[in-house]
């Protein structure tokens, strides 16, 4: 066995800024240039969940911290996000979510009813996502040393035997499927913070995507090459990561991307691109061309997948690039998220 010599961290930023937590370029630099070289036995691209063999059984495991502000927003709360976020990381790694651990960091002074509301939210989201909460931990810090409540969830699941997901299995001609309208969560949070003279009839999309993934796996499991839930940094960031990891080009068809009018309108006013906005209840999948129709039909026919769409395809060149064909016959390059226009979105 050859043990790889870890590279020296080449992270150059002198301190950690909000952008390092935004899920875009700075986040990737922090993980790839500082954390992974020291911590992970890597070489492989970083996925949403790790798989490991334990006692002859393969399991998937993942963990996420949640620091969303405000704690409650239309369509959900930090407790819902904490369950669904971790459940979705397992789902898009091709695993059936089974059990969760939940830890709380509480700012002293949080009212007990607010905490109770979030515990209820966790219980309700876990029940809907069909996972059990098996344990956790609680810490309290002084007033002013947290923002009311942070939650971390760790999840464990069983890999679905029908799916083998890897960025390097993606091929030119493969199709890109999205499970539903994008940007709902990020714009909902932005509006919930107030301060903008904007209102919209919009709720977060926070939910477990596992039922959709399961339908996809049953109908077209062998044809699914790669999946991701486009949270921080949005669809644009996830697809840029794919384009880079697989050294391919992603070409999107702008007209095919499902975006609610409320999201499109808010983004236009604020100068944001829906492709950069966080989602908490959608996934994107790359599916082999010959499976694409069955895959789409399977998701469309599953409750909550009614607005799924094929939004683009994979090409060979230019490698490591995401392009979007606009309605006017032109195309534009879609970059990863840069900076942090929407801090603490999850």
Q: Which of 98, 253, 294, 335 binds a copy of itself (CB under 8 A)?
A: 98
Residue 57 interacts with a copy of itself (CB under 8 A)? yes
* Residue 265, phi then psi, degrees to nearest 5: -65, -50
Residue 194 interacts with a copy of itself (CB under 8 A)? no
Contact predicate 283/342, CB 8 Å: no
Residue 200 interacts with a copy of itself (CB under 8 A)? no
Residue 99 interacts with a copy of itself (CB under 8 A)? yes
Residues touching a copy of itself, count (CB under 8 A): 82
Q: Which of 24, 25, 67, 250 binds a copy of itself (CB under 8 A)?
A: 67
Q: Which of 82, 131, 156, 189 binds a copy of itself (CB under 8 A)?
A: 156
Q: Which of 2, 41, 327, 330 binds a copy of itself (CB under 8 A)?
A: 41
CB 46, min distance to a copy of itself, A = 7
Residue nearer to a copy of itself on the CB measure, 133 or 310: 133
Residue 54 interacts with a copy of itself (CB under 8 A)? yes
* Residue 180, phi then psi, degrees to nearest 5: 175, -170
Residue 193's contacts (CB-CB under 8 Å, 6 or more residues apart) are: 69, 70
Contact predicate 290/230, CB 8 Å: no
Residue nearer to a copy of itself on the CB measure, 157 or 223: 157
Site for a copy of itself, residues 103 to 122, rule: CB under 8 A: 103-112, 115-116, 119-120, 122
What is the rounded CA–CA span in Å between residue 243 and residue 251?
Answer: 10
Q: Which of 140, 166, 256, 333 binds a copy of itself (CB under 8 A)?
A: 140
What is the crossing angle of helices 210-220 and 292-300, to 10°?
Answer: 140
Contact predicate 239/321, CB 8 Å: no
Residue 264 interacts with a copy of itself (CB under 8 A)? no
Cα separation values, 317 from 171, 172, 198, 240, 251, Å = 12, 9, 41, 14, 10
Residue 2 interacts with a copy of itself (CB under 8 A)? no
Residue 102 interacts with a copy of itself (CB under 8 A)? yes
- Coil vs helix vs strand at 174: coil
Contact predicate 254/182, CB 8 Å: no
- Put the strands of the sheet holding 57-66 in their side by side order: 50-54, 57-66, 149-159, 95-107, 132-141
Residue 134 interacts with a copy of itself (CB under 8 A)? yes
Residue nearer to a copy of itself on the CB measure, 63 or 300: 63
Residue nearer to a copy of itself on the CB measure, 279 or 321: 279
What is the rounded CA–CA span in Å between residue 343 and residue 346?
Answer: 9
Residue 187 interacts with a copy of itself (CB under 8 A)? no
From 7-15, 186-194, 283-291, 308-316, span contacting a copy of itself (CB under 8 A): 7-15
């Amino acid at each position: 066995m050859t043990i790889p010599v870890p590279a020296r961290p080449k992270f150059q930023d002198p301190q950690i800024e909000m952008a390092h937590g935004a899920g875009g370029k700075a986040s990737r630099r922090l993980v790839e240039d500082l954390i992974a070289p020291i911590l992970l036995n890597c070489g492989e691209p970083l996925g949403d969940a790790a798989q490991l063999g334990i006692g002859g059984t393969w399991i998937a495991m993942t963990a996420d911290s949640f620091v969303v502000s405000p704690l409650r927003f239309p369509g959900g709360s930090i407790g819902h996000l904490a369950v669904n976020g971790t459940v979705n990381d397992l789902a898009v790694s091709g695993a059936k979510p089974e059990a969760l651990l939940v830890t709380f960091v509480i700012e002293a002074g949080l009212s007990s009813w607010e905490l109770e509301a979030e515990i209820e939210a966790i219980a309700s989201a876990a029940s809907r996502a069909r996972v059990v909460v098996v344990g956790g931990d609680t810490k309290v810090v002084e007033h002013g040393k947290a923002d009311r409540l942070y939650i971390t969830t760790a999840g464990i699941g069983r890999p679905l035997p029908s799916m083998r997901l890897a960025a390097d299995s993606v091929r030119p001609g493969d199709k890109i499927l999205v499970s539903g309208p994008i940007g709902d969560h990020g714009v909902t949070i932005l509006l919930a913070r107030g301060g903008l003279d904007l209102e919209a009839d919009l709720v977060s999309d926070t939910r477990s995507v596992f039922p959709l993934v399961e339908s996809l796996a049953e109908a077209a499991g062998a044809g699914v090459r790669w999946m991701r839930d486009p949270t921080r940094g949005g669809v644009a960031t996830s697809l840029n990561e794919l384009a880079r990891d697989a050294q391919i080009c992603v070409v999107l068809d702008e007209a095919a991307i499902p975006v609610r009018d409320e999201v499109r309108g808010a983004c236009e006013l604020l100068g944001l691109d829906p492709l950069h906005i966080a989602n908490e209840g959608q996934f994107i999948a790359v599916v082999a061309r010959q499976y694409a129709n069955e895959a789409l039909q399977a998701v469309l026919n599953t409750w909550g997948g009614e607005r799924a769409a094929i939004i683009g395809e994979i090409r060979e060149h230019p490698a490591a690039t995401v392009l979007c064909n606009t309605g006017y016959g032109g195309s534009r390059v879609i970059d990863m998220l840069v900076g942090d226009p929407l801090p603490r979105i999850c």
